[in-house]
A and B are shown apart, each in its own frame.
Chain A
Amino acid sequence: MNGSSRRLYFMSISFVFAALIILGRIIFIQNGPQAEPLKEQSSTYRGFPQEIQPTRGEIYDRWGNLLAGNTTVYEIGVELQHVKNPETIALALSVYTGADFGEIYQIASQEPAPDAVYAVLQDFVSPEKITQLEEFKQQVDAGAYVSATKDENAAPPSLDGLVITPHLARTYPEDDLASNILGFVSREGKGYFGVEEKYNDLLAGRIKKVYYANNPYEVSSMPSPPVGASLVLTIDREVQDSVQQILERAIETSGSTSGTIVVIHPQTGEILALASTPRMNLNEFWSYSEVFPGSTPFNRAVSQAYEPGSVFKVLTMAAGFDSGAVKPNTSFLDTGVFQIGGIYIQNWNMGAWGPQDMLGCMQHSLNVCLAWVASEIGAKTFYEYMQDFGLGRLTGVDIAGETPGRLKLPGDGDWYEADLGTNSFGQGVSATPMQMVTAISALANDGKMVTPHVVRAVIDQGHQYDITPQIAGMPISKETARAMTNLLAISLEKESSSALVPGYRVAGKTGTAEIPSPAGYTSGATNASFVGWGPVDDPQFLIYIWLEKPTTSPWGSVVAAPVFSEVAQRLVILMDIPPDDVRTAQTSN
């Protein structure tokens, strides 16, 4: 027993020694150089931060009708290690969600790798399709189908591994209504064009950073998901729809390549409707490059500057009145030609119109007369006025993609004195329809030029922030504005223009501009425009029409003027504007 005891003691001492080593090891771990890194590693396991993408804000028309919202769509993916039969998955998706069989089969039959255990098959699938797919899955799970192959080893039909994940996606209930104003949102959640791009940061909201703790003791309640700010537009859905329809018809009947109609409230700058072609169904934003091939602008009203032609004359004449260079009753002898800067300005019909007052100059749209007016004003003053009207500068409209056009100024390398003459009737100067609308709003609003805007209010965290109308400047006096409006109203009446609106006195001006080609004004193609506003005593709408390359007639007075009348007649109904006699009767009472 003695030798045995010795061995027992020896072994016990070895065990005690082993225990001491373990204890020593613990002390070493706790105090050794690796203690700090080990402590730090714990933070990587403690939890993980994640960013919560806020629900994108919605967009409403001025009466609260939803124009852009969010809807639940589904991502279909596979967990590769659970896939039993990729063929069934590919078949199901090709039948129920319209996917490509071969493509899906290839993805679903991948071998799972450590860095690839999940693969996306399809995204943005509608709830209806998902319902069908799930019904099919139930049938498969219940064993309703057997493999068609005779191969004994073939896997039985199975949709195992299929994962359906819901998420929010942008939806536009009105499809293409106001599409040029709204813009669209990419799958990554970024806004493109229009309001979606301009107000992207507001709509997208602030990304909320949350920390998901793995330790249940540290778990805090999930913060309420942030929501992006919603926008209320100045657009009236009904007006917008009418204007779009009218534009469609006008383009068709005139054989134009494209068209744009802008309707604003001249006293506030609110854009009531903005139609431009082409339009796209925003729910199918992937068709963008098809709908807008090449460099087609998404919204012509803000993104395409053109030579406006005769509508520009209203600005020249207003500058003439305001500077005192001419008066409405100033007479001018039209000899059919005016020399300025070494070139000869001629009228649209190459004719000489004899003695004319300013009303006649506008009514007959005499280039010779207007060039003379511009020369009377003088280059310096004329361009000061044009700059005051905001030409050559961005209007500040809250739609993405605005372009400033071009107003050559004395001193610019490519400005010649002749430009003063051509600019006076809208040649050699380019402006977007939105710039023209902005400038002319001064005439319709007692000299005060308004900044056009499409957002009426921002709704953030349950609070509504109204956007106040902004005066962009006062390029002309109230008297000039009244005089011009009156002059243009008479001009339309005298001409018994097709722009006239029964029951309402309106002012307006046609415009026909030859489209310059590199060789000069030789193509014969024109831009037909019209600008008008009314009722003249208290303007409630200002309408700008631009039809590009009309084929039935090149003249603005023929193709664009009736469109104005049509739009205005719809407007007075939709906006509840009583006829002038009713209104004056009411106010005099």
Chain B
Amino acid sequence: MGERTFVSRKHTDAAVNRRRVSLNVDVPLLLVTITLLVFGLIMVYSSSWDVSLVLYDHASAMALRQLGFVLAGIAVAAGLIFFDYRWLGKLALPIMLITITMLILVLFFGETRLNATRTLFSGSVQPSEMAKLATVIYLAVWLNNKRDNLDSWGFGLLPLAGILGIVGFLIFLQPDLSATMTVVILGGFMFFLAGGDLRRIAILVISTILIGGLLVLASPTGQNRVNSYLIGLEDPLQASYHVKRSLEAFVNGGFFGVGIGNADTKLTGLPVPPTDSIFAVVGEETGLVGAGLLILLFLALLWRSIIIARKAPDSFGSLLAAGLGIWLVMEALINMAVIVGLLPFAGNALPFISYGGSNMLVTMASVGILLNISRSGQREQNRKETLFNAFAHLRRRDRRGRVPRTRRTSGIESR
């Protein structure tokens, strides 16, 4: 659906048809996403073949499953590109209710893995991942609606704390401490972006830190992790086994890395290379350069989200776009910071890269929503431009001169 011209939208001319197909989406974001997905698939294959061989008798079993997740994710994203995000405003409450229901269900019927009950349907669905996305959507709607009352306690902070509290607490019960923290921090960020009063935010931050501190102290997992984190931060050689092995991977990797597929630590005991530790494998196989480029890709994702947020047609879209972008990049940064021993151990996956279906689907759903917002924004802009600059922009999308030239055009003419 290209720019609108004076011709009818229903025109069935071939050239116009072609234009209708053009997505009008944010191309850099699309490219960043594709790059991340392709790179992620390569890294998942590189870090999962030996585990696959043991578990499924087939070296590419996990990589193929991940490919399936990627394709499913692309399908979800493609669907959401054409699904007007404004509908999400109406769907936010049902989504949230479904999420909470699933979070409750998982506590009773979930599959227990590694002493934590986090998955449904024999391990294929991880509701806490979905809860993060639902939280972003719901908060975007809610904060946008309450924009004028944000700073009042009764309408602003307390209900916000209530929503975050319910979701966070349900995840905490699984227990999944890092997902709980992610949801709460994300809520704070969105409150900040929505224009919450800074003093109130300060109170929120302080109380979160206090409550968070209590939660950490209350859970033995949390206590252990914080302790080993503090020790490891001081002296990396005293860090937990996991951090020591991932630091070893970075040291081995050096500047250019040992080459994709050649990592040693992933084969000699680095815990969970295809999922949480995949950044360490990236660091070892592609070195500082690869790790840096990966960080750069996530920053590009952030950059595009902000552009999309700014160009969004309405404040809901803007908040939603910003929230999604920040969420994805925050997840990525937390995962990376954990792997290099800058944060206590958290189970955050590296979006796009880590092996895992739930994460891939919600990540790609976010991308889909982002692209939809960008498309809506583009359309809005185009409409405005069309209204006032219809003639000047008439042929822009054909990549021809905007005004007819005196000469006849030829194929080899430079533009």
CB-contacts of B333-350 with A (<8 A): 333, 336-337, 340-342
Q: Let me know if B50 and A216 touch, CB within 8 A.
A: yes
24 CB < 8 A contacts A-B: A1-B315, A7-B195, A8-B309, A8-B310, A15-B302, A19-B333, A22-B333, A22-B336, A23-B288, A23-B291, A25-B342, A26-B291, A29-B247, A30-B250, A32-B236, A34-B235, A34-B236, A35-B251, A45-B248, A45-B265, A47-B268, A216-B50, A216-B267, A217-B262
Beyond A15-B329, A23-B295, 19 additional contacts (C-beta under 8 Å) are A3-B195, A8-B322, A11-B192, A11-B326, A15-B326, A22-B295, A22-B337, A27-B288, A30-B254, A37-B237, A38-B247, A39-B248, A39-B251, A45-B245, A47-B268, A214-B269, A215-B264, A215-B268, A216-B50
CA distance A217 to B53 in the complex (A): 14
Q: Which 3 A-B pairs have the closest CB atoms?
A: A214-B268, A45-B268, A215-B267
Which listed residue, A25, A39, A46, touches B340 by the CB 8 Å rule? A25
Contacts of A4 in B (CB 8 A): 193-195, 315, 318
Q: Which of B267, B292, B322, B341 is A214 in contact with, Cβ under 8 Å?
A: B267
B303 within 8 A of A: yes
Whose C-beta in chain B lies nearest to the C-beta of A22? B336
Q: Are A45 and B337 closer than 8 Å at their CB atoms?
A: no
Complex-state Cα separation, A29 to B279, whole angstroms? 14
Q: Mark B241-252, 1 if CB is under 8 A from A, else 0.
A: 000110110111
Q: Is the CB of B268 within 8 A of A42?
A: yes
CB distance from B214 to the nearest CB of A (A): 25
CA distance A76 to B250 in the complex (A): 44
Interface status of B299 (Cβ within 8 A of chain A): yes
Which of B192, B267, B298, B326 gathers most chain A CB within 10 Å?
B267
Chain A residues, Cβ within 8 Å of B248: 38-39, 41-42, 45
Q: Cβ of A18 < 8 Å from any Cβ of B?
A: yes
Question: From residue 1 to 56 of chain A, which have CB atoms closer than 8 A to chain B?
Answer: 1, 3-5, 7-9, 11-12, 15-16, 18-19, 21-23, 25-27, 29-30, 32, 34-35, 37-39, 41-42, 45-47
Tell me whether B189 is interfacial, beta carbon within 8 Å. Answer: yes
**Chain B residues, Cβ within 8 Å of A1:** 315, 318
Identify the closest chain A residue to B339 (Cβ).
A22
A18 and B299 alpha carbons, distance in the complex (Å)? 10
The tally of residues in B whose CB lies under 8 Å from a CB in A reads 49
Known contacts: A38-B236, A41-B244, A216-B267. The answer to whether A8 contacts B299 by CB under 8 A is no
Shortest distance between the CB of A1 and any CB in chain B (Å): 7
B contacts with A: majority SS: helix
Which chain B residues have a beta carbon within 8 Å of chain A's beta carbons?
50, 189, 192-195, 235-237, 244-245, 247-248, 250-255, 262, 264-265, 267-269, 283, 288, 291-292, 295, 298-299, 302-303, 306, 309-310, 315, 318, 322, 326, 329-330, 333, 336-337, 340-342
In the complex, how many angstroms separate the beta carbon of B56 from the nearest chain A beta carbon? 16
Given A4-B318, A25-B341, A214-B269, does the pair A42, B264 have CB atoms closer than 8 Å? yes
> How near does chain B come to A92, taking the closest CB pair, in angstroms?
32
| Min distance, Cβ B340 to any Cβ of chain A, angstroms | 5
Tell me the smallest distance from the CB of B328 to a CB of chain A, in Å.
11
Residue pair A18, B288 in contact (C-beta under 8 Å)? no
B342 touches A8 (CB 8 A): no
* Distance in angstroms between the alpha carbons of A30 and B257 in the assembled complex: 11
CB interface residues, A 184-227, toward B, < 8 Å: 214-217
The residues of A that contact B322 with a CB separation of less than 8 Å are: 8
A40 CB → nearest B CB, Å: 9
Q: Which residue of A lies closest to B342 (CB)?
A: A25
Q: CB < 8 Å: which of B193, B303, B340 contacts A26?
A: B340
Contacts of A37 in B (CB 8 A): 237
Q: For the complex formed, measure the closest distance between the CB of A565 and the CB atoms of chain B, giving whole angstroms.
A: 74
Q: Is the CB of B295 within 8 A of A19?
A: yes
CA distance A280 to B33 in the complex (A): 80
- Let me know if A30 and B288 touch, CB within 8 A: yes
Task: Determine the chain B residues whose CB is within 8 A of the CB of A34 once the complex forms.
Answer: 235-237, 247
How far apart sit A15 and B264, CA to CA, in the bound complex (Å)? 31
- B237 proximity list for chain A (CB < 8 A): 34, 37-38
Closest A residue to B196 by beta carbon equals A7
Smallest Cβ distance from B91 to chain A, in angstroms?
24
**CB pair B309 A26 closer than 8 Å:** no
Task: Kindly name the residue among A3, A22, A25 whose own CB sees the greatest number of chain B CB atoms within 10 A.
Answer: A22
B residues in contact with A41, CB < 8 Å:
244, 248
Q: Which residues of B contact A42 (CB under 8 A)?
A: 248, 252, 264-265, 268
Contacts of B340 in A (CB 8 A): 22, 25-26, 29
CA distance A39 to B288 in the complex (A): 16
